[in-house]
Structure 1
Amino acid sequence: MLLSSINSRAKCSSILVNTTGSLESAQSHGKMKPALGLCLLLAGLSAVAHCDHLPGHHNGHDGHKDTVHEEHHANHAGEIMKCLKLVPSNADFAFRFYKQVVAASAKKNIFFSPVSISTAFAMLALGAKSATLTQIMEGLSFNLTEFEEKEIHDGFHHLIHMLNHPDSELQLDIGNALFLKEKLKPLEKFLSDVKNLYEAEAMTANFKNPAEAQKQINDYVEKKTHGKIVELVRDLDPETAMVVVSYVFFKGKWEKPFDPEHTTERDFFVDEETSIKVPMMHRLGRFDLHFDEELSCTVVRLNYNGSATAFFILPDKGKMKQLEDALWKETVSRWSNSLHLSSANLYIPKFSISAAYELKPILTKMGITDVFTDQADLSGITGAPELTVSRAVHKAVLKVDERGTEAAAATAIEIMPMSLPLVIEFSSPFLVLIFDRATNSTLFIGKINNPAEH
């Protein structure tokens, strides 16, 4: 969920309470300049996913129907190609961002949506100029000698369209909204671009009455995230000029669900000195597995119904840092190509976690600097370079449980070989990756250090 608020720099000398509960002093300095403060929040329910080959296409019938099918597939293929061009850059951004986060909070639970952050700042780039624009795009891992700005925005446009596929088996919603103060006059081109390229809704809000504006925005966010994100906005400044919201909501059902009756309390070893009891899901069956001897980790793929899939990665004792250092798109691709079907007794914790991040220090280290200072050039929003980003916050929610398709739960019977299956128990810190296979997009990245910590 991305939230951006533009405040008067004169009103910025205040104490900001971020979503992690810490206090941040926002001291204004230099010339008085309105500040665009971005707060990014994401809600997602799921596990991990990986990049996979695109689903194949089938030929249509003869005659007119065949022509219609061919045109449909041609358009669909065109959308996919525009999305796929973004994949390497989006993946690079995802893992660069992860490494920055883990460096600052190695022992904490980590969970975020790289596609949500990328989409939000790509949309912000519509209003950026000069060095500010270059830093945002390069910070998002786009090589501007290989990409034209229009290609990037077109790619995100088709990515949003494809991720919002109407699939009854998988609930995946991504969207954006602008809340504008009545007297703010954004350029028509900016409003047109955010609407046409990022499918953003635009509506007015009475920021002079902060309580009223907060309720309006919070009600909108709560509805769009199906009640999972509440009270996103707090302590709005009466001088706020615009709030930008970008949300991602994901809820998947396991292709082969876990039986709740098989969930039992088992030990989870947070570290060498600390163990806790957690509800551990269990299923005996055949799974896509891979043991990476080089990185000393076990990879398990669990598919959702629909186009999403999840990877759980369990490093051997003392090998987490080695795994994290090697976490790049090439590594995930190697895992994907090395999976094989094997019998296993699988134990995975049932948990619900959330994580929140102040993006400013993270993105500054990734090269996005000017947009947070008086050097910002966001003149593409109103025509004048007098806006700057004061704050950016990202929050994500993850829930993993036994749920699957009810019918599948009754029919998940597998033929097992006579030999004893492997026992794979996620009873120590592990990683979670969630991908959308149709677009090869990294929806979520997580690190579960303590499943009982909310």
Structure 2
Amino acid sequence: MKITFYISLLLAGLHAVSHGHLPPNHHNGHDPNEPKHHMHHAGEAIACLKLVPNNADFAFQFFKEIILEVPNKNAFFSPVSISTAFAMLALGARSTTQTQILEGLSFNLTEIQEKEIQEGFHNLIHMLNHPESKVQLNMVNAIFLTDKLKPLKKFLDDAKALYQLEAFTTDFNNPREAEKQINDYVERKTHGKITNLVKDMDPQTVMLLGSFVFFKGNWEKSFKPEHTEEREFFVDAETTVKVPMMHQTGRFDFYFDEDLSCTVVRLHYNGSATAFLVLPAKGKMKQLEQTLVKETIQEWSDHLFKRLLSLYFPRFSISGSYEITNMLSKMGIVDVFTDQADLSGITGTPDLKVSKVVHKASLDVDERGTEAAAATAAEIMTMSLPPVIEFNRPFLMLIFDRDTNSTLFIGKIVNPAITS
């Protein structure tokens, strides 16, 4: 029988807040799918950008799988966290197991070699961990190993060099002590955002591989707390809840997609992150879910224009925990979870398989903080009332990093009053 181990994928708290001085809007014309022209690391950017179409395809394919698993519920995940962890696992995979992992991540191995993929992820991690501006974004990869399991020096050296992997010896025979070591590490790396990540660990565990992402961004145009008020949110035909609804009037990037019957509003964070807020017309969410692909986002980006809007957007916190082994199997990553697994690149012998893949995610969106008086810009308003866009029914929220063209997070918010 193969020895099993866990892969733990964690998105630690996307936290959108607004406070301090607001810089001028320097993002006009930048799309999530369009690199900044003044990137400092041209070589890194080129290697990283090779992954962009594949990572985007994986993001939207996985989105379709996750909403099948949790229909009519909040869903939130980090595709870049999942693909990074499995690309790292592919370093130690061989033969069909490696092919399935890379093809399951949407790579066509006749067009891109494994070495290019690994180099691309290396540069992606480096660029995400060194943002140019005021966004706080950290990606950490860690491996916890029993002292009886001796990984190959080449695997550890490559993983450390490519993925900035941190390695720790852990006594899994003492599950309580192992859980404390791992949970303390995660809590520290996620600024206290995630606690008690692992629990009820199997004493048979010999290895835990983790990928942890922490993101905190400030709205470029803040919402004033005094403008937030309780308003109704229509979950479905039978359910209405009261939520704190943030509000601001101003000029926003806007587009109405007639084909998909949805309203798109783009908000910027200070720094390199951008959020697309997507509000389908009543009864049109399913159509949007089933047809959403990377080309859709590009089309929205190409057609956005500045429009004066009265925008209502809920303040909310949601979190979720997913066991995603089944979803990945449906996407073609099969052998690594069975006795057919070949992870001999990790230990030198094919005696490992993955028993479980957990992805945890949380999202906080608020208007916290006060806007400095000096930063208040007077909007020139027309005398006619601007159209009201109110996110008062289920919507999507997609967050991109423009420097790396990465899909950082995808969320479907069905009921902002539910936290998990």
- The two structures have a TM-score, normalised by structure 1, of 0.87
Q: Percent identity?
A: 68
**Aligned residue number for residue 396 of structure 1:** 361
401 and 129 in structure 1: CA distance in 2 versus 1, 3 angstrom threshold: same
CA distance in 2 between counterparts of 1:368 and 1:404 reads: 44
**Aligned residue number for residue 426 of structure 1:** 391
CA distance in 1 between counterparts of 2:147 and 2:414 reads: 46
CA distance in 2 between counterparts of 1:121 and 1:132 reads: 11
Q: How does 1:48-447 map to 2 (within 5 A)?
A: 51-57=32-38, 73=40, 76-166=41-131, 169-403=134-368, 406-407=371-372, 410-447=375-412
372 and 232 in structure 1: CA distance in 2 versus 1, 3 angstrom threshold: same
CA distance in 1 between counterparts of 2:395 and 2:31 reads: 15
**Aligned residue number for residue 40 of structure 1:** 9
**Deviation of 1:167 (Å):** 5.0
405 and 77 in structure 1: CA distance in 2 versus 1, 3 angstrom threshold: farther
**Deviation of 1:422 (Å):** 1.0
**Deviation of 1:214 (Å):** 1.0
SS at match of 1:392: strand
**Deviation of 1:417 (Å):** 2.1
**Aligned residue number for residue 25 of structure 2:** none
CA distance in 1 between counterparts of 2:278 and 2:374 reads: 25
Q: Report the residue type matching 2:9 in the other structure.
A: L
346 and 195 in structure 1: CA distance in 2 versus 1, 3 angstrom threshold: same
**Deviation of 1:235 (Å):** 1.6
**Deviation of 1:36 (Å):** 2.2
**Deviation of 1:236 (Å):** 2.0
**Aligned residue number for residue 451 of structure 1:** 416
Gaps of 5+ in 2: 17-29
Farther off after superposition, 424-433 or 182-191: 182-191
CA distance in 1 between counterparts of 2:374 and 2:366 reads: 13
Q: Is the 8 A contact 1:258 1:409 kept in 2?
A: no
| Structure 1 runs (4+) greater than 6 angstroms displaced | none
408 and 340 in structure 1: CA distance in 2 versus 1, 3 angstrom threshold: farther
CA distance in 2 between counterparts of 1:183 and 1:370 reads: 24
Gaps of 5+ in 1: 1-31, 59-72
166 and 406 in structure 1: CA distance in 2 versus 1, 3 angstrom threshold: farther
Farther off after superposition, 444-453 or 231-240: 231-240
1:359-385: per-residue Cα shift (whole Å, max 9, x none)?
Answer: 111001000000000110000000001
430 and 50 in structure 1: CA distance in 2 versus 1, 3 angstrom threshold: farther
**Deviation of 1:453 (Å):** 0.6
1:17-42: per-residue Cα shift (whole Å, max 9, x none)?
Answer: xxxxxxxxxxxxxxx21012223221
**Deviation of 1:342 (Å):** 0.4
Q: Is the 8 A contact 2:92 2:155 kept in 1?
A: yes
- The two structures have a TM-score, normalised by structure 2, of 0.94
272 and 412 in structure 1: CA distance in 2 versus 1, 3 angstrom threshold: farther
CA distance in 1 between counterparts of 2:369 and 2:158 reads: 39
**Aligned residue number for residue 3 of structure 1:** none
Q: Is the 8 A contact 2:104 2:331 kept in 1?
A: yes
CA distance in 1 between counterparts of 2:139 and 2:374 reads: 29
Q: Is the 8 A contact 2:13 2:194 kept in 1?
A: no
Q: Report the residue type matching 1:175 in the other structure.
A: V
CA distance in 2 between counterparts of 1:309 and 1:323 reads: 20
SS at match of 1:247: strand
CA distance in 2 between counterparts of 1:437 and 1:405 reads: 26
1:230-258: per-residue Cα shift (whole Å, max 9, x none)?
Answer: 00111223332211121001110000100
SS at match of 1:375: coil
**Deviation of 1:419 (Å):** 2.5
Root-mean-square deviation (CA, aligned residues, Å) is 1.6
Q: Report the residue type matching 2:274 in the other structure.
A: T
CA distance in 1 between counterparts of 2:109 and 2:348 reads: 24
